Amino acid sequence: MKTAYLLILALITLTACNSGDGTSDAYGNFETEETIVSSEMSGKLVHFETELGEAIEKGEIIGVVDTLQLVLQIQKLDAQKTAVQSKKVNINAQLEVLKEQLKNAQITQNRVKSMFKDKAATQQQLDDIDGKVSVIEKQVKSTKTQFILVNEELNVLGAQVEILTDQLERCKIQSPISGVILEKYVEKGELVTPAKAIVKLADISELDLRVYVSGSQLPHVKIGQQVEVFVDETKTENQALTGVVSWISPEAEFTPKIIQTKEERVKLVYAVKVSVKNDGRLKIGMPGEVNF
């Protein structure tokens, strides 16, 4: 009788110890979207002081590609713009001379016309002065068109400067997100090319617990629903956190291969993401449980 009593007590104790394993509705691992940052320009990486695990703010400069050649090209174009700009001074000087010549010719033209009326000048003289005035007027007009050509040349040079300035800005490798550096793929002084990965970043301020629920559980899960999340604290105790259902897969799939038993792997389930604020306790890949 005493033996039977001890056996029953042992079964009750065993059941109590394992009760925590069966209370959760779903199990999974924490994950987050990872961002690969690449260089947009080719060249030597002259600045790259970041370290693994370092927190980076959005827009912060991670590294800088050598900019010397671009700076020299911009300086060359600026000198060309100055030279072209000086052409306007010469054109203005020519224009002033022509305007003065035109003014004197028009005075002479008016005098000859008056003399022609009084029959003190010949038709030939009138035709000559009219022709001279016409030639000077055309010269003035032609000289003014040189301003258009100079301005167009300046616009071309300005556009080239803008292109190089944009490339100069792209030499700065900026972080597209706020996050933590998970991986470094190059070191300072190495040559980089466009699309070559520099670092891997992830925002770990909030992680997603990806779990899988059965079709029978699905009606009890809704986007925006607040749920209980548990992570291991010790072998027998869990830490409780609060999470929010942020995504539910619209299609069923087979249970992922990471599930240990074949019986579980062949079941159709729905993937669900639960967003959890990370106070530093959560890590990417850490297992977790959820109660809906």
| Assigned CATH for 68-170 | 1.10.287
Calculate helix-pair angle for 68-117, 123-170, nearest 10 degrees.
170
CATH fold of 25-32+204-291, please? Elongation Factor Tu (Ef-tu); domain 3 (2.40.30)
Q: What is the reported pLDDT for 96?
A: 92
Quick one: tokens of 244? 């929010």
Q: Can you give the pLDDT at residue 262?
A: 53
Residue 235 pLDDT level (bands cut at 50, 70, 90): confident
Is the pLDDT at 195 greater than 90? The verdict is no
Q: Which residues contact 103 (CB under 8 A, 6 or more apart)?
A: none
The residue ranges of every structural domain in the chain are 25-32+204-291, 68-170
The per-residue pLDDT of the chain, averaged, comes to: 87
Which tokens belong to 129?
């002065």
Specify the pLDDT at position 292. 86
Residue linked to tokens 């559980």: 217
Both tokens of 253, joined, read 């799939």
The answer to whether residues 290 and 275 touch, using CB atoms and an 8 Å cutoff, is no
pLDDT of residue 264: 59
Q: What is the average pLDDT across 7-12?
A: 33
Whether 1 has a pLDDT exceeding 60, the answer reads no
Q: In b/e form, how buried is each residue of 107-120, taking b as 16+ CB within 10 angstroms?
A: eebeebeeeeeeee
Residue 5's pLDDT band (boundaries 50, 70, 90)? very low
Higher pLDDT, 120 or 205: 205
Give pLDDT tens digits for 213-233.
Answer: 988 888 989 999 999 999 987
Q: pLDDT tens across 27-41, in order?
A: 999 999 999 999 999
Confidence of residue 106 (pLDDT cuts 50, 70, 90): very high
CA dist 9 and 286 (Å) reads 35
pLDDT recorded at residue 135: 93
For residue 286, is pLDDT > 80?
yes
Q: Taking residues 189-218, what's their average pLDDT? A: 93
- Say if CB 46 and CB 66 are below 8 A apart: yes
